[in-house]
Structure 1
Amino acid sequence: MSDQPARRQLSLNLFINGVGHHEAAWRHPSTRVEELFTAGYHHELAQHAERAAFDAIFFADGPVLSPGIEFNSAAHLEPILTLASVAAVTTHIGLIATASTTFYDPYNLARLFATLDHLSGGRAGWNIVTTAASAAAANFGLDEHPDPSERYARAGEFVEVATRLWDSWQDDAVLADRATGRFADPSRIHPAAFRGEHLRVAGALNAPRPPQGHPVLVQAGASNEGRAFASRHAEAIFTAHQQLSDAQAFYSDIKAGVERYGRRPDQVKILPGISPFLGGTEAEARALEREFNELTVPEYGLRQLATLAEATFDVADLDRPVPLDVFADAGDVTDNNRSRRQVVAGIVRREQPTLRELLHRLAGARGHRVVAGTPEQVADTITEWFTHGAADGFNVMPPYLPGGIEAFTEHVVPLLRARGLFREGYTGTTLRDHLGLDRPVNRYATAPETEPALAGV
């Protein structure tokens, strides 16, 4: 047996967003928008990613209807239920769902993710969000949306409660002893017993500890508060960058933050988004990208940009340069409170595009890196970021589905494998196995005998 350490491997997720991440994908004849809300469509995508040994599939979500629904297929099925359906037709691929700490109750959500982890044999992941969309508040009976500081404070308590609930059953609490008639050992089941500023939970979860111990904790916030939260809690981080240098700065900052919290940097995977248009030549790939851009509806893009820029734009100005002062207050990578806005500000400063050109740049993946090129060029980009301290892997965001993921797995994945950067097949069964993450030790495994338990249950 070799004494050489195993070579570091890429993590690859398939980020499923309707019929693709390009805002006009639903209009393209290669997509199947008519199947968007069917189980079979999502089963097919997951099974394709599983055949390529991807770590996971991922669904974003938000508890509010997009105001751009007139021009974009911006309606989504609930992700946890969708992934439960996918779990029944897959065996290895991870299943990551977005859920909000602002609008869920921790007991309900901990139970949902525990159930998904049990039903899938240990493949669940939770993308933790606090929900930035202010319109969501009214959907839950609130007069106003909590400010970011309050949302993150609640989120911190929420994660503490959820992990307490998942730990409330020790791994050996279930006896299932037919001879003695004892199903469980109450001394190994513990109340969550949490009382904080925002949340209170009393009892234990009503289901045993999940197979992974805890579902994998994922986070995508890049603001100052988001980075601090991720450094403390996240095991995988989704992020958006246009340039290698910005991605390297983010990567370094997060890994240092993880160490400050006494955690191991190798136990946190940083996964930027990449949205590839692939062609036999670079010219063919760019022609395909233009084909999608020509299907965009400017009114939709202008609404999205207005929200991001906190400014108004006019269709009459589409072929005029974007004024540089629109993003003058966006800050830079050292001031992270307006992170996605900074990405767009960087595009405007570097490229000085017309308004139409900017809308096309954002149509592909909302500020994530869009690459139009040959499979070799896309593989080169992935390799460069992975080997130069910018990424532990990538959130693959095909501009159109299912064709975009089929092209990526058929033409890019073999190149990554030939370079020794991506697995030939699964070597484990859980999402933690795929990501190389440790199974968390139950907090009660070494607790003193006086730790309160559910005696008499």
Structure 2
Amino acid sequence: MSVREKLRIGMSLAPTWLSGDAWRRSDSEIEQVYSSDYALDIAKRSEAAKLDFVFRPDSLFLNVEALESGPGFGSLDPTIQLASIARETSRIGLLTTISTTFVPPYVVARQLQSLNWISGGRVGWNIVTALDGNENFGLSEMPSAQERYERAAEFAEIVRRLWESYPADALLTDRSSGRYADSTQVRPIDHDGTHLRVKGPLNLPAFGNTRIPLVQAGASPDGRNFASSVADAIFASTPDIEAATELRQDLRRRAEEHGRKASDIRLMPGLSLYLAQSRKEAAALFKETHNRMDSARKLDSILAMTGLDLRDWPQQQRVTAADLPPLPEKLRSRTHAELLRRLILREEPTVADLLTRPEVIGSAHWQIIGTVDDAVAEIVKWQSAGAIDGFIAVPGGSVSSMHLVLDELVPRLAEMRLFRSDYSGKTFLDHLEE
């Protein structure tokens, strides 16, 4: 990959900078987190930095236990939140998250195309199969990963066909002839599949002749295969450069097997950024954020992901490959579990070190703790090595860390010609494909 190839960059609207103890800081504005203005400010700052998109991840359950020490998974509905942002912005892409496991495809197709009209073609769909929340939708347990991804593939195809069922060209609005639309172009999809039945057509025309980009979250074998067959980009956890390089190469190979070009799929991992004016301040910010994290909960998480019980182990004892039992049969996220297992096999960390790693305390995202200079150097290293096509920023520790990403880090990348200095297109797809 050429060092001069431009990155794609998104900003998470999930306020990760309020996680851990960061919400207790005097500048956190935690009281405003459920207001429309809170996310709108971030979106406007992101648009000023010329980012490709803002992104709202989602979950359809509430971790009540976690509420004692932080917001947990509480959030506004992402699509409604982005609709409030659409009218106040003009260029930045709006990437919403909707699960294929719980919601009917007709509703999803209509919501997304509605937001596409409201925003002028700036919508993207982050496709997830969900890891939790089944009991909120009448399911006693989550379907298997294979079943979820089979349904997701069918679901995504239905949604795309519904968008095509009422093409933009069918809308005539010809006052002189009295023809509102060419109804011969509007056709039902008559889908009768393994998991879903949908007649169609959609009761809303497509916006223009562009398409809505698809993003997929997850990097399990089933997730990789699904993403490489339909997605424009994948949002995944890649805690180190080797993991990112392997994933990107595999996705590109799989895309070609599906009859696509390797460049049709872009790897945009989450990038957790704890930034400050000095490395010492950044390290202190990270430590302060995670000071109160319950060790017992982290050890329980390790047990659930690996089957390894470290609760009675000395803090300085190393965890080795020989200590690992077979992976548990039932896992919340096999991808996350395998990343944690990979860390132990590669590094044989002490118990104390293990409890500080992103595979345990977070979502196993690529993590940089340091200055803007440190972040720029690391991003250039990964991009030059062909490990990434871009990233989704998930700043941590403080609001100031998020501001440093947008006010200093992204402009530095633009100065190096690794990112745009201005928008050249108007739609989300324009940004991804420029």
Indicate whether the TM-score tops 0.5.
yes
After TM superposition, the structure 1 = structure 2 runs for residues 428-447 of structure 1, keeping only pairs within 5 Å, are 428-436=425-433
CA distance in 1, matches of 2:31, 2:323: 38
1:106 corresponds to:
105
Q: Describe the shift of the 1:162–1:142 C-alpha distance in structure 2 as closer, same or farther (beyond 3 A).
A: same
Asked if structure 1 preserves the Cα contact closer than 8 Å seen for 2:289 and 2:397, the reply is no
**1:22, distance to aligned residue in structure 2 (A):** 4.1
Root-mean-square deviation over aligned CA pairs: 2.4
- The answer (yes or no) to whether the contact 1:364–1:370 under 8 Å persists in 2 is no
Contact between 1:365 and 1:397, CA under 8 Å: does it hold in 2? Answer: no
Identity %: 34
Paired position in structure 2 for 1:450: none
- 1:342 alignment counterpart: 338
Are residues 264 and 220 of structure 1, via their aligned partners in 2, closer, same or farther at CA, if it must alter by over 3 Å?
A: same
Instruction: Tell me if 1:223 matches 2:220.
Output: yes
| TM-superposed deviation, 1:283 | 2.6
Alignment of 1:243-322 (within 5 A): 243-310=240-307, 314=311, 319-321=315-317
Distance 1:78 1:305 in 2: 30
- After superposition, where does 1:438-457 map in structure 2 within 5 Å? none
CA 1:322–1:182 in structure 2 vs 1: closer, same or farther (change >3 Å)?
A: farther
Match in the other structure for 1:149: 146
Distance 1:308 1:69 in 2: 22
Please say if 1:73 is aligned against 2:58.
Answer: no
Shift of 1:199: 0.5
CA distance in 2, matches of 1:328, 1:259: 36
Aligned equivalents of 2:283 and 2:405: distance in 1? Answer: 16
The residue identity in structure 1 corresponding to 2:406 is T
Letter in 2 for 1:360: T
Q: 1:326 to 1:11 in 2, by over 3 A?
A: farther
Q: Report Cα offsets for 1:300-343 as digits up to 9, x if no partner.
A: 434544443345554x7583546435645359xxxxx9321122
5+ long unaligned stretches in structure 2: none
* Partner of residue 447, structure 1: none
Residue 71 of structure 1 aligns to which amino acid in structure 2?
Answer: S
Per-residue Cα deviation, 1:255-291 (whole angstroms, up to 9, x for no partner): 0111111112222221011111223332332222222
> Alignment partner for residue 60 of structure 1, among 53, 57, 60?
57
Aligned partners of 1:106 and 1:270: how far apart in 2?
26
Q: Is the Cα–Cα contact under 8 Å of residues 216 and 235 in structure 1 kept in the other structure? A: yes
Alignment correspondent of 2:137: 140
Number of equivalenced pairs: 425
TM-score, normalized by length of structure 1?
0.87
1:106/1:425 CA distance change after superposition, 3 Å: same
CA contact (8 A) 2:376 2:412 kept: yes
1:396-415 matches, within 5 Å, as 396-400=393-397, 402-415=399-412
Unaligned runs of 5+ in 1: 332-336, 438-457
Query: Structure 2: which amino acid aligns with 1:264?
Result: K
- Give matches, 1:363-402, under 5 Å: 365-400=362-397, 402=399
1:142–1:326 CA distance, 2 compared to 1 (3 A):
farther
Structure 1 distance, partners of 2:296, 2:324, is 20
**8 Å contact kept, 2:307–2:326:** no
The 2-side partners of 1:400 and 1:6 are apart by 30
Cα distance between partner residues in 1 of 2:298 and 2:103: 30
2:101 is matched by which residue type in structure 1?
A: T
Letter in 2 for 1:88: R
- Structure-2 separation of matches of 1:401 and 1:202: 48
Superimposed CA distance per residue, residues 142-168 of structure 1 (whole angstroms, 9 cap, x where no aligned partner): 233211111111111101100000001
